[in-house]
Amino acid sequence: MPEAAIRHDWTRTEVAALFALPFNELLHRAHGVHRQHHDPNAVQVSTLLSIKTGGCPEDCAYCPQAARYDTGVAAQKLMEVDDVLARARAAKAAGASRFCMGAAWRGPKDRDIPKVAAIVRAVKELGLETCATLGLLGDGHAQALKDAGLDYYNHNLDTAPEFYGEIIHTRDYRDRLETLEQVRDAGLKTCCGGIVGMGETREQRAGLLQALANLPEHPHSVPINQLVPVPGTPLGDAEPLDPFEFVRAIAVARILMPLSIVRLSAGRQQMDDAVQALCFFAGAGSIFYGEKLLTTGNPDVEADRALFRRLDLHPMEVAMEAAGVRAGLPESDAAGCGQGCGCSAAA
Ligand code: SF4
């Protein structure tokens, strides 16, 4: 197979044509791209912690943390450094290489940044990669987080530009692109993906992936979330997406962004093992792991370990990921390697 080209000029027609390929043909092509650039048996393992839960002023239609929806999620303050550290240590002990921290804010205020920076610094000192998803960033925020040792900043595009207004009204697509630009300019790695199964058409799923692939740099990490409908949110009664359509989205993301690590993200708990295996074959190279790590004998962690054993998968080493795994990220990308969600609800 010829080396996959790194392109930023994908047309909607081209992306839609990938989605329309016969399923086996699409998976064959996606797996070929995956093997060219990644160890097909290595999966990067991240753990996500909500460091500031609930009470968010935004109106993302999928999110139980929006204050305006009656979902039973209580607003909490930003966690203390020591409490975050205890969770980070547990994540590391359970095998995570990256610790992702989400805060349910429209964006951090200037006064929040030193507090988050202290958390990032402490987690980084444990030898974990760090990622934060805090919403829209203001002037100087990205640089301050970078200086504290942040590796990745997550900010999702969520969906196609033309469907975005159906999902969120309190911030626009341009706001998201501007935050991503600040993140890139500060030298942080970007984690940027979206959510499928929100009632969008296949054409609009193609639009999301086209928008991601045509960013000035492909995101280092591309979380593809499947909507988990939460009662009380506007999407609480959304029709489930055909699992094979989700696999197609993973495969198309793999083909469009060959060097990025595609993450099988929210919604994994609702997928059976066979669908997850198809996602790994199609190019997913990262998961979230152990949502309740302080619970002894966590069945989620045990189930994931068993799935890894059955599929002969192994956790990706940080150094391996940093080095760009197989065919290699450019040196500038590989250096200092260190997630996400559009915010914390859907990493
Ligand atoms: S996704 Fe993030 S920004 Fe949107 S309502 Fe939830 S916490 Fe707020």
Q: Which entry of 63, 192, 279, 337 is annotated as an active-site residue?
A: 63
Pick the closest to residue 149 from 218, 88, 215, 94 (CA basis): 88
Q: How many domains does the chain have?
A: 1
Residue 211, in any domain of the structure: yes
Q: Which atom of ligand 1 is nearest to the CA of 104?
A: 7
Residue environment code for 6-36, b if the CB has 16+ CB neighbours within 10 A, otherwise e = eeeebeeeebbebbebeeeebbebbbebbee
The per-residue pLDDT for 1 is 64
The answer, yes or no, to whether residue 23 has pLDDT greater than 60, is: yes
Cβ 66 under 6 angstroms from ligand 1: yes
- 258 pLDDT band, cuts 50/70/90, is very high
Whether pLDDT at 126 is above 90: yes
Section 261-283 average pLDDT: 92
Burial class (CB in 10 A: 0-12, 13-18, 19+), 122: middle
Q: Is 131 annotated as contributing to ligand binding?
A: yes
CB-ligand 1 contact for 343 (6 Å cutoff): yes
Catalytic: 63?
A: yes
Rg (CA), the chain: 18
Q: Sorting pLDDT into bands at 50, 70 and 90, what band is 300?
A: confident
Residue 333 has pLDDT above 50, yes or no: no
Q: 318 falls in which pLDDT band (50, 70, 90)? A: low
In a domain, 15, yes or no: no
* 340 inside domain: no
pTM summary value: 0.88
d(CA 279, CA 263): 10
| Ligand 1 pocket mutation pick from 48, 56, 78 by most atoms within 8 angstroms of CB | 56
DSSP symbol at 241? P
pLDDT tens-digit series, residues 147-194: 999 999 999 999 999 999 999 999 999 999 999 999 999 999 999 999
- State residue 265's pLDDT score: 85
Residue 303 within a domain: yes
91-98 mean pLDDT: 85
Local confidence band at 339 (pLDDT 50, 70, 90 cut-offs): very low
- pLDDT surpassing 90 at residue 121: yes
Rounded to whole angstroms, the Cα distance separating 56 from 47 reads 22
With 90 as the cut, is the pLDDT of residue 342 above it? no
Q: 3-17, 148-162, 191-205: which range is least confident on average?
A: 3-17
Catalytic residue among 29, 98, 176, 191: 191
Please tell me the predicted confidence (pLDDT) of residue 303.
85
Alpha helices in 214-326 (DSSP H): 243-256, 273-282, 299-311, 318-322
Confirm whether 191 is a catalytic residue.
yes
33 inside domain = yes
Mean pLDDT over each residue of the chain, to the nearest integer: 87
The token duo for 126 is 């444990």
The residue behind tokens 């928008």 is 211
Is 341 within any annotated ligand binding site? no
pLDDT at 75 over 60: yes
pLDDT band at 340 (very low <50, low <70, confident <90, very high): very low
DSSP 151: -
pLDDT at 291: 55
Q: Which of 134, 55, 132, 65 is nearest to 101 (CA)?
A: 132
Check residue 120 and give its pLDDT. 97
Q: Is 63 annotated as a binding residue?
A: yes
Q: What's the CA-to-centroid distance between 58 and ligand 1, angstroms?
A: 6
**Is the distance from the beta carbon of residue 60 to the nearest atom of ligand 1 less than 6 Å?**
yes
CA of 57 to the centre of ligand 1 (A): 8
- Three-class DSSP category at 273: helix
Predicted confidence (pLDDT) at residue 294 exceeds the cutoff of 60: no
What integer pLDDT is reported at residue 118 of this predicted model? 97
- Residue 4 inside a domain? The answer is no
Range of the domain at 254: 26-334
**Ligand 1 pocket member 130 (CB < 6 A):** no
What's the CATH code of the domain at 69? 3.20.20.70
Residue 7 included in any domain: no
Average pLDDT over residues 273-292: 87
- Is position 263 annotated as part of the catalytic site? yes
Q: Is 191 annotated as a binding residue?
A: yes
